[in-house]
């Protein structure tokens, strides 16, 4: 009877933080589990495992996604950036530096997802990508408090460091809250 439920495996090539990895994975393996368990990139966190909290946010080809909701086989040939790929302790990404400077974290569990999401937010603003609350999609994009809150709404901080997170993002964007 067990033979009817044989596991299906697939070869996947993923570029994670600039290094290409070739993996053979169970086709049910999430991108999050591939990163954490197979590539040992443990900065990306497993929070709710249902796409509600954003702790697992990574950048795939420059776009943020919840890695817990995406199968690794869907990302064959994709470029994935995790918190480890944004900067190094000696050369932090500006968003990482702003989070440190503004105390944009407390326990730190959500911080990797928050930072990756904030980096994606910068790219979205720069490209003029509207959000659900953008009033005039033809006008030049600017980061308002409402825009910031909408764009970061997929990332939960159970400690409540939201004001410091917003301050860090605003600092990098160059606007006063």
pLDDT digits (tens, 9 = 90+) for 99-129: 999 999 999 999 999 999 999 999 999 999 9
The answer to whether residues 121 and 103 belong to one domain is yes
Q: What is the pTM for the complete model shown?
A: 0.93
Tell which wins on pLDDT, 3 or 39: 39
> Quick one: which H or E segment has residue 56?
none
Domain that holds residue 7: 2-86
81 and 99 belong to one structural domain: no
108 with 159: CB under 8 angstroms? no
Tens of pLDDT, residues 65-87: 999 999 999 999 999 999 999 99
What is the Cβ-side half-sphere exposure of residue 158, based on CA atoms within 13 angstroms?
Answer: 10
Number of domains the chain contains:
2
Q: What is the CATH number of the domain that holds 167?
A: 1.10.150.120
Burial 7-31 (b: 16+ CB within 10 A, else e): eeeeebebbbbeeebebebeeebbb
Q: Decide which of 54, 86, 118 is a domain's last residue.
A: 86
Identify whether residues 58 and 20 lie together within a single domain: yes
Is the domain of 22 the same as that of 50? yes
């Amino acid at each position: 009877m067990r033979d009817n439920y044989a596991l299906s495996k697939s070869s996947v090539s993923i570029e994670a933080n600039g290094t290409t990895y070739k993996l053979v994975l169970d086709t049910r393996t999430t991108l999050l589990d591939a990163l954490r368990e197979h590539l040992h990139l443990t900065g990306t966190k497993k929070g709710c495992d249902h796409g509600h909290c954003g702790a697992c946010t990574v950048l795939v080809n420059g776009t943020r996604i919840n890695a817990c909701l995406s199968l690794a086989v869907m990302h064959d040939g994709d470029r994935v950036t995790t918190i480890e790929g944004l900067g190094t302790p000696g050369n932090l990404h500006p968003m990482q530096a702003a989070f440190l400077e503004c105390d944009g974290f407390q326990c730190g569990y959500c911080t990797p997802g928050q930072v990756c999401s904030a980096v994606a937010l910068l790219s979205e603003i720069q490209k003029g990508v509207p959000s659900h609350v953008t009033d005039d999609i033809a006008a030049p994009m600017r980061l308002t408090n409402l825009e910031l809150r909408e764009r970061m709404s997929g990332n939960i901080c159970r400690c409540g460091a939201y004001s410091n997170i917003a301050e860090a993002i605003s600092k990098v964007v160059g606007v006063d809250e």
